[in-house]
Structure 1
Amino acid sequence: MEKMGYNMDVLTIGRSSIDLYSQQVGADFVDIKGFDAFVGGSPLNIATGCSRLGLKTALFTGVGQDKVGDFILNFLKNEKIITEYIPFIPGARSSAVILGIQPPDKFPLVYYRDNCADSKITIDHAMRVPYEKFRLIEVSGTALNIEPTRSTVFFAIEQANKHHLPTVLDIDFRADQWHDVRAFGLNIRAILPKIKIAIGTEEEILAAMLKDPSQVTIEHQQISAPTITGDIELAINEILALGVEILLVKRGSNGVSIYEANGRVTEVPGFPVVPLNVLGAGDAFASGFIYGFLNGWTLYKACRMGNASGAQVVLQPGCANFMPTLEESLQFIEENGGF
């Protein structure tokens, strides 16, 4: 994956937020007494994971001219993530998320994203990014939910393709961020023909192809983990038919399935662990996979690296703040069966 002239590895585009995680693991949301302040947003999480693994990484998002924006930027700078493509958005607020932790299967989320800065990045902001200096561009599906960030993402992907960069889409379905869940699928299907690698859970892949809102059920306010009915194999085939070269289907503790445009399907086992908090596991997977992909590894080995990153993060009470380093991941893999 060498590219002449680059001096940066990964650019991620989309959400950034302050994440307030319950300090009372296992408590009902109404009984929470306090929160730990972390950072989040899928592209920010992935950028952090990539940076900790040793990739030179930049984040393209927006923050408000507020203390929360300062909090996010301070974290990014401490993580050696390039922040020069992050504008302050006048009149907007940095977004926030409040999260409960009730393992094994309840992780309620409350988003505060009205007038949020990361949804107001524009094509003018995107024109300041030197795409030709990167090796890979990653974008988040949630960034397509509203203008101007929707057009900005399409513009950035257009520029990435112009410079022959691999493009990665984290499908990233958050049902309550869309005025109509069918609009999510319409936008995802519009961008998929421009994408080389798509990553999603079974639920996110079904959401990309759903026809009826009644297919979506959310219990316990688990916005990131809805129940979606449908034919998963049909949805996979429909995504591949749109031109995606590689589709990675995340299947939790069962690992990842790799679907390639040539018809090849490869199963990659996960690393079974007892999770404390499943939020952020998918973002950790993406960062581990991207590391392996950019280092020229086989898809199997890159996904195994991704699975290891995800398994480590589910043992922790947060997302970006707990992404593993390269040394930690390699040791974890060695201790748990190897590649």
Structure 2
Amino acid sequence: MKTYDVLTVGRSSIDLYSQDIGAEFIDITGFDAFVGGSPLNIATGCSRLGLQAALLTGVGEDKVGDFILNFLRREGVDTTFIPRIPGARSSAVLLGIQPPDTFPLVFYRNNAADSQITVDHVNAINMSDIRLLELSGTALNLEPSRSAVFHAAEQAKLQGTTTLLDIDFRADQWSDVRSFGIMVRALLPRIDIAIGTEEELLAAMLEDASQVTIEHQQISAPTVRGDIDQAIERVLALGVNVLVVKRGSNGVSVYDAAGRREDVPGFPVVPLNILGAGDAFASGFIYGYLNGWDLYKSCRMGNASGAQVVLQPGCANFMPTLDESLAFIEQHGGF
């Protein structure tokens, strides 16, 4: 029976990135075809670092599904658990790149195959063969993927598999943004490690939809108003052992179950494209964590992965290798 260091669960897509860096979306003349979706990005990043990675997602019986699967196989990500969903479509995303702070996204996820993974798909996996299960918050927005995620978390806990939640708030994927918080709060007691931006943590504790504002169609980076310290306390109170708060160029803050905080600096770079930086961070963090590193060093590894990806015009296609990350860290002052 094959064993895996990490299994990621949730979205996968073809990502069409603007070739016209800096152009307004209406002036884009062409797109480069990459792949994406937070769980796919993380699985790819983990595989490039040398971990045995697998992905549970769904793709359609279409050419886009062929494109996604071909990429994953080339990258050494195990596709055993990726079903073809009859009658569904593989997801697509269009993305603009306007450095330093404007990155509009358009999702095409009607009848998305990755939202149709089921409890049966989870049951086909022996969780005792998985060291770490990574789950994505966006997969909680619809059935049947919502139940599949909860079931996977329950099975992982029963088998002693470490569970990690990438909170992954995509505001336009929810008919009521408040339901995002309801689902995340229900899942957190089954989670060992949670990772999110300040905005995602605030969204997880959202009380009113008016707290969320999306400007310039930046779906992955909405403005969310609220008390971040209170949100952190509430997440920890739900039982996670480790909470990592991503703070952009300021690095991350990592909290233990007792609420003790340690700040981990990032690596100063001038970003070209911030999309995918959080997924790169997760892959680097997971690598360090599974290799027995302490949380500080694991977060530095994550910060290094993120810093390298923001210099590139895409996500999964540009995840760093282990040698590249170690060289980057050495060039920037070490761990």
Query: 1:18: which partner in 2?
Result: 14
2:330 maps to amino acid: E
The 5 A counterparts of 1:134-149 are 134-149=130-145
1:78 maps to amino acid: R
Matched, 1:214 2:210: yes
Deviation of the 1:7 alpha carbon? 2.5
Query: 1:223: which partner in 2?
Result: 219
Question: Which one of 43, 46, 49 corresponds to residue 42 of structure 2?
Answer: 46
Alignment check: 8 A CA contact 1:6 1:132 kept: no
Equivalent residues, number: 335
| Partner Cα separation in structure 2 for residue 11 and residue 320 of structure 1 | 16
Deviation of the 1:6 alpha carbon? 7.3
Q: Deviations over 1:227-273 (max 9, x none)?
A: 11100000000000000111000000100000111232100000011
Alignment check: 8 A CA contact 2:233 2:259 kept: no
Alignment check: 8 A CA contact 2:93 2:107 kept: yes
Residue segments in structure 1 that go unaligned for 5+ positions in a row: none
Q: Deviations over 1:140-170 (max 9, x none)?
A: 0000000000000000111100111110000
Deviation of the 1:125 alpha carbon? 1.1
Alignment check: 8 A CA contact 1:171 1:200 kept: yes
2:233 maps to amino acid: N
The 5 A counterparts of 1:141-160 are 141-160=137-156
Q: Deviations over 1:86-139 (max 9, x none)?
A: 000000000000000000010000000000000001111111012111110000
User: What secondary structure is seen at the aligned counterpart in 1 of 2:79?
Assistant: coil
| Partner Cα separation in structure 1 for residue 103 and residue 144 of structure 2 | 30
User: What secondary structure is seen at the aligned counterpart in 2 of 1:69?
Assistant: helix
Residue segments in structure 2 that go unaligned for 5+ positions in a row: none
2:142 maps to amino acid: I
User: What secondary structure is seen at the aligned counterpart in 1 of 2:243?
Assistant: strand
Query: 2:103: which partner in 1?
Result: 107
Query: 2:235: which partner in 1?
Result: 239
2:212 maps to amino acid: V
| Partner Cα separation in structure 2 for residue 264 and residue 204 of structure 1 | 20
Query: 1:170: which partner in 2?
Result: 166
Alignment check: 8 A CA contact 1:18 1:39 kept: yes
1:337 maps to amino acid: G
Deviation of the 1:221 alpha carbon? 0.2
Query: 1:304: which partner in 2?
Result: 300
Identity %: 74
The 5 A counterparts of 1:51-130 are 51-130=47-126
Q: TM-score, normalised by structure 1?
A: 0.98
Matched, 1:194 2:190: yes
User: What secondary structure is seen at the aligned counterpart in 1 of 2:4?
Assistant: coil
Query: 2:315: which partner in 1?
Result: 319
User: What secondary structure is seen at the aligned counterpart in 2 of 1:84?
Assistant: coil
| Partner Cα separation in structure 1 for residue 258 and residue 140 of structure 2 | 28
- What is the root-mean-square deviation of aligned Cα atoms in Å? 0.8
| Partner Cα separation in structure 2 for residue 211 and residue 64 of structure 1 | 36
| Partner Cα separation in structure 2 for residue 305 and residue 157 of structure 1 | 26
1:28 maps to amino acid: E
Alignment check: 8 A CA contact 1:103 1:275 kept: yes
| Partner Cα separation in structure 1 for residue 175 and residue 210 of structure 2 | 14
